[in-house]
Amino acid sequence: MIHYLGKALGAHFRSGRMLFLLGVLGVALGVASVLSIQIINLNALGAFEGSVRAVSGEADLSVLGRTPSFDETLYPQVLADPDVAAAWPLYRVDVALAGEEDLFLEVIGVDLFAPPRIPWRERPEDEFAPLRKPGWVAVSPELAEQRGWQIGDSFGISSGSRQATLTVGALVDFRSLTPLASARMVVMDIAQAQHQLGGRGQLHQIDLRLRDGTDVETARPRLAASLGPAVDVMAPEQRRRQATGLLGAFRLNLTALSLVSLFVGGFLIYSSTQASLVRRRHEFGLLRSVGSTRGQVLGLILAEVALLGALGVAIGLPLGYIVAVRNVDVVSATLTNIYLLEEIETLVLPLWLWLIAAGIGIGGALAGALLPALDLSRRDPNALLAAYSLHERSG
The tens place of each residue's pLDDT in the chain, 395 residues long, gives 555 656 666 666 566 677 778 778 888 888 888 888 888 888 877 777 777 777 777 788 999 988 888 999 999 999 999 999 999 999 988 888 887 767 788 899 988 877 677 888 888 877 788 888 889 999 999 999 988 999 999 999 888 778 889 999 999 998 888 877 888 889 999 988 988 887 788 999 999 999 998 898 889 999 999 998 889 999 887 877 777 776 677 777 777 877 787 788 888 888 888 887 777 777 778 877 887 788 888 888 888 888 888 999 999 999 999 988 888 777 777 666 655 556 677 777 888 889 988 998 898 888 888 888 888 888 878 777 776 554 454 44
C-beta separation of 154 from 165 below 8 A: yes
Determine which helix (DSSP H) or strand (DSSP E) holds 237, and give its type and residue range: helix 236-246
**What is the per-residue pLDDT for 25?**
84
Determine which helix (DSSP H) or strand (DSSP E) holds 173, and give its type and residue range: none
CA nearest to 303, candidates 340, 339, 348, 273: 273
Number of H helices, E strands in the chain: 13, 12
The β-bridge relationship of strands 100-110 and 231-234 is unpaired
390/387 Cα distance (integer angstroms): 8
**What is the per-residue pLDDT for 328?**
79
254/345 Cα distance (integer angstroms): 19
Residue-level length of the chain: 395
CA nearest to 151, candidates 166, 134, 132: 166
**What is the per-residue pLDDT for 188?**
92
Determine which helix (DSSP H) or strand (DSSP E) holds 97, and give its type and residue range: strand 84-97
Determine which helix (DSSP H) or strand (DSSP E) holds 34, and give its type and residue range: helix 17-56
**What is the per-residue pLDDT for 4?**
60
C-beta separation of 60 from 382 below 8 A: no
Alpha helical stretches, state H, the chain: 2-15, 17-56, 74-80, 129-132, 141-147, 190-196, 216-227, 236-246, 248-279, 281-289, 294-334, 351-377, 381-385
**What is the per-residue pLDDT for 394?**
45
131/143 Cα distance (integer angstroms): 23
**What is the per-residue pLDDT for 54?**
77
C-beta separation of 289 from 388 below 8 A: no
46/180 Cα distance (integer angstroms): 6
* CA 360 centroid distance within chain: 19
Answer positive or negative: Cα dihedral of 114, 198, 167, 345. Answer: positive
Q: Angle at Cα 208 formed by Cα 202 and Cα 212, nearest 5°?
A: 165
221/62 Cα distance (integer angstroms): 12
The identity of residue 226, as a single letter, is S
The SS3 of residue 23 is helix
For the beta carbon of residue 375, count every other beta carbon within 10 angstroms: 13
